[in-house]
Structure 1
Amino acid sequence: MEIYIKFILIGLAIAMPVGAITVEMTKQGLRNGFLHGWAVGLGGMTLDTVLILAMYFGFASILSIPLVQIPLWLAGAGFLAYLGYDSIRNSDLNLATTDGKAAHAPSSFWRTYRNGLLVAISPGNLMFWVSVFGVVLSDSYQSAGKLSFIIAAVGILCGILLHDLGLLTIVSITRKMMSAKMVQLVSSLAGVLLIGFSFYFLYKFMTALWQYIF
């Protein structure tokens, strides 16, 4: 139980910093409601689960290969730029009202889930998992065996889930107090932040490519 609680807190710690997933999750929660915001979080958690399984089977070292990282930086930059542009362009669309009915048809749950999954696939996120949680989980595996590793992994996922549910609960309460214009403004600001993340990804792509070539 002590191991489980410790890793729940670690899961909360990884989820709290504001990143592209948090921005997209908040945006979807404000525009389309709790379920769509949670779909983004579930997309990110799907990748988290895959990475945990990869570490369990010893494949984490593959993520450190430059030829794997470089294309991911570029793909991530392109996708975040698209999400940011789409968020700004359609800031006045897909606004769900407080009674749950939308003025325009919202994105499907699975499309929103896909967005969350694709946002999560970035070398920064992958390498953070390998460098931080890879070491912690590997130590748990070596010191106490498979059962300890599984408990630690479940604890991390539960911590991330608690963060997502807590954030979206706050967003759901807040959106009922916001006018349509305020939601549109937040959606536009979220788009600007996502485009900002895309430029950072592009910078990392160019830096990694330069280091690889020269």
Structure 2
Amino acid sequence: MSLYFAYTLVGLSIAMPVGAITIEMTKQGLKNGFLHGWAVGLGGMTIDLLLVIALYFGLAQFLALPYIQLPLWIIGAVFLILLAIDSIKNADHDIALAGEKVNKSFFSTYRNGLFVAVSPGNLVFWISVFGTVLADSYSSSNQFLIVALGILSGILLHDIGLLTIISLTRKVMNRQMIKWTSIIAGIILLGFACYFIYEFFVDVKQLLH
């Protein structure tokens, strides 16, 4: 049990850095409430869970191959650009203030979480993190399961904690403030997309030399 709690703290700490998923969670949490922000987090955790399974069966190493990563950079950039454009263009749409009915579907925000999570930056980061953290537990299925569950529980705690804060903040925000938060989130997502495109050209240059 102590192993589980130790790796829950590990999962909590590695989920702390702000990334594209955190930005999308924050935006959806402010516009549509706790459940929709959490849907983004669940989308991200779905990919995390698949990566843990892939690591256990030794499949994740293929994601690290340059010829696999190259198209992923572009695919990830396209997904983020589409999310960014939607975030900016529809900044004043689908806003449900605290106490109002939410019209946006749970699945659509879950899908956004999946799109952000399959970006290569996220995949490579989690492969390296999970690979390092889980390295000593491959020999024992039970230990691997405990460690993996601990990490995923830590990520879940981070998401719930973040969205609880966002839900409380949302109660004192008006429609205009949430609109501008959505615009800023879109600009940040565009920044991540530009970074992915830059990394694509860097990788292409390295392959050609």
**TM range, normalised to the smaller chain?**
over 0.9
**Alignment equivalent of 1:134, drawn from 131, 136, 153:** 131
Partner of 1:101: 101
**Alignment equivalent of 1:195, drawn from 186, 190, 195:** 190
**Alignment equivalent of 1:157, drawn from 152, 159, 164:** 152
CA contact (8 A) 1:84 1:191 kept: yes
User: Is 2:22 aligned against 1:22?
Assistant: yes
Give runs of aligned pairs for residues 56-67 of structure 1, distance below 5 A.
56-67=56-67
Secondary structure of the corresponding residue to residue 17 of structure 1? coil
Q: 2:198 is matched by which residue type in structure 1?
A: Y
Give runs of aligned pairs for residues 160-175 of structure 1, distance below 5 A.
160-175=155-170
Give runs of aligned pairs for residues 111-130 of structure 1, distance below 5 A.
111-130=108-127
CA contact (8 A) 1:10 1:156 kept: yes
Q: TM-score, normalised by structure 1?
A: 0.94
Q: 1:98 is matched by which residue type in structure 2?
A: A
Whole-Å separation in 1 of the counterparts to 2:82 and 2:11: 29
Percent of matched pairs sharing the same residue: 58
- Provide Cα deviations, 1:76-127, integer angstroms capped at 9, x if missing partner: 111111111111111111010211324xx32x11111111011011222222
- Provide Cα deviations, 1:186-209, integer angstroms capped at 9, x if missing partner: 111101100111100110111112
CA contact (8 A) 2:97 2:174 kept: no
CA contact (8 A) 1:33 1:100 kept: no
Report the Cα offset of residue 211 of structure 1.
1.2
Q: 2:128 is matched by which residue type in structure 1?
A: S
CA contact (8 A) 2:88 2:182 kept: yes
Whole-Å separation in 1 of the counterparts to 2:91 and 2:196: 24
CA contact (8 A) 2:7 2:150 kept: yes
Gaps of 5+ in 1: none
Report the Cα offset of residue 14 of structure 1.
1.7
Q: 1:87 is matched by which residue type in structure 2?
A: S
Secondary structure of the corresponding residue to residue 138 of structure 2? helix
- Provide Cα deviations, 1:115-166, integer angstroms capped at 9, x if missing partner: 1011011222222222222122121223xx1111000000001000000001
Whole-Å separation in 2 of the counterparts to 1:93 and 1:130: 36
Partner of 1:81: 81
Whole-Å separation in 2 of the counterparts to 1:179 and 1:2: 44
Report the Cα offset of residue 19 of structure 1.
0.3
The list of structure 1 runs, each at least 4 consecutive aligned residues, that deviate by more than 6 angstroms after superposition, is none
CA contact (8 A) 2:97 2:170 kept: no
Partner of 2:143: 148
CA contact (8 A) 1:24 1:190 kept: yes
Structure 1, 85-94 or 204-213: larger mean CA deviation: 204-213
Partner of 1:72: 72
Whole-Å separation in 1 of the counterparts to 2:187 and 2:108: 21
Instruction: Give RMSD over aligned pairs.
Output: 1.1
Q: 1:141 is matched by which residue type in structure 2?
A: Y
Report the Cα offset of residue 56 of structure 1.
0.8
Whole-Å separation in 2 of the counterparts to 1:120 and 1:8: 20
Whole-Å separation in 2 of the counterparts to 1:135 and 1:101: 44
